[in-house]
Amino acid sequence: MGEQPASKPKKAAKESKSANRAASAPAPAPGASATPGTSAKAPAKKAVKKTVAKKAAAKKAVPAKATAKETAAKKAPAKKAPANPAKAAKAAQTAKVAKAAKTTPARPAKPAKPESHLSMVRRARRINRELADVYPYAHPELDFRNPFELLVATVLSAQTTDLRVNQTTPALFAAYPTPEDLAVADPEAVEQLIRPTGFFRAKTKSIMGLAAALRDDFGGNVPGRLDDLVKLPGVGRKTANVVLGNAFGVPGITVDTHFGRLVRRWKWTDEEDPVKVEAVVAEIFPKSEWTMLSHRVVFHGRRICHARKPACGACPIAPLCPAYGEGETDPEKAKKLLKYEKGGFPGQRLSPPPDYPGLPAPPLGAG
């Protein structure tokens, strides 16, 4: 009985120590669990993870909305075009111009550097060499057997084709083979024979007049001098040069419509007068080249470099031509524009020279 009061003081001491430890421990953070062994930082980490997850979900939701809008825009019906086609075309053109103005800034065109005279001469001579390779068979395209026939045929070739002259002269020369025969012919009979060449009355007067002059002044022979030839009726400088160059071997430049047109297109000269054109071209080339140069240029003008629609895409001297692009540049389309032997058609002569690669022309009335 006397030991019971002694145990009570020990129990009170233990309770006092526990109370002191509890008082000295830090207070738990708000919302923290009172479970022993759980850290106070754990709730904060969970809150951060939840925030990050919400932001990621928000980001994913934005493309989904955009996709929904795009789908709706695709499904939406297109806006109706204006009822007036002219207004629609004008609006489209305006939009096109506006777009081009934004993407391509306007730039002033640079003026081309003028070609020097020396460069032009070099280019002209190179063109002549190139044409010599293309047309090694170039020749006068009038049928003739002697100077008299060439003289008459050249006079008849004015305002018509060489082909038509070649189809006409066989009957004429069969009836009047010499100047003496033609000088005394019946004008009406001559007119009927040369009618296909056009301007037959004026041409009859010219060829009968020159025949009489040859008979009276030159003993029935064609003179071999320019000054004498140009005095004959219907004979000008061009005709005289044709006769001199091809019947007598005297160099001459023949400025016909093809020759004048091409040398201006090639910028050899701007002259229009045939005599001035001849003088300018004569300064560019040596005299030995004059006759063949004339043939090559005329051949090229008739076959490829046409007046209205040149076949630029099939032209062998296109890199040397300042007028390239005036005609058809597509090679396949340009081939269809080629004439005579270049296009696979007959030439202009009924009796072409042996080295001519094309077909002879058909006689008059042969279809």
Backbone CA torsion sign across 336, 338, 340, 341: negative
Give the pLDDT band (50/70/90) at residue 29. very low
pLDDT digits (tens, 9 = 90+) for 342-365: 999 999 999 999 999 999 999 998
What pLDDT is attached to residue 251? 97
Q: What residues act catalytically?
A: 238, 256
Examine the pLDDT at 236 and tell me if it is beyond 70: yes
Task: Report which of residues 63 and 216 the model is more confident about.
Answer: 216
Mean pLDDT of 253-267: 97
Sequence length of the chain is: 367
320: Cβ contacts below 8 Å, ≥ 6 apart: 123, 126, 127, 130, 266
Confidence of residue 91 (pLDDT cuts 50, 70, 90): low
pLDDT number for residue 3: 43
What confidence tier does 97 reach under pLDDT thresholds 50, 70, 90? very low
pLDDT of residue 54: 53
pLDDT for residue 365: 82
pLDDT at residue 9 greater than cutoff 80: no
Mean pLDDT for the stretch of residues 110-139: 93
Residue 252 pLDDT greater than 80, yes or no: yes
Whether 52 has a pLDDT exceeding 90, the answer reads: no
pTM (two decimals): 0.70
Which pLDDT value is given to residue 26? 45
User: How far is 295 from 362, CA to CA, in rounded Å?
Assistant: 22
Q: What is the structure's pLDDT at 88? A: 64
> Is the pLDDT at 40 greater than 80, yes or no?
no
DSSP secondary structure, 297-349, as one string: HHHHHHHTS-SSS--GGG-TTGGG-TTTTSS---HHHHHTT--GGGGT-B-S-
**Mean per-residue pLDDT, 312-337:** 97
Which phi and psi (to 5°) does residue 233 adopt?
Answer: -60, 130
Alpha carbons 200 and 331: distance in angstroms, whole number:
41
Flag whether pLDDT at 105 surpasses 60.
Answer: no
Burial 292-330 (b: 16+ CB within 10 A, else e): bbbbbbbbbbbbbbbeeebbbbbbebbeebeebeebbbe
Instruction: Report the mean per-residue pLDDT for the chain.
Output: 82
For the cut 50, the answer to whether the pLDDT of residue 324 exceeds it is yes
Residue 255 neighbours by CB under 8 Å, 6+ apart: 237, 238, 274, 275, 277, 278, 281
| Percent of the chain clearing pLDDT 90 (strictly above) | 68
pLDDT (average), residues 37-46: 44
pLDDT tens by residue, 169-228: 999 999 999 999 999 999 999 999 999 999 999 999 999 999 999 999 999 999 999 999
The distance of Cα 106 from the centroid of its chain, to the nearest Å, equals 24
Q: What is the mean pLDDT of residues 87-111?
A: 51
Mean pLDDT over 52-66 rounds to 47
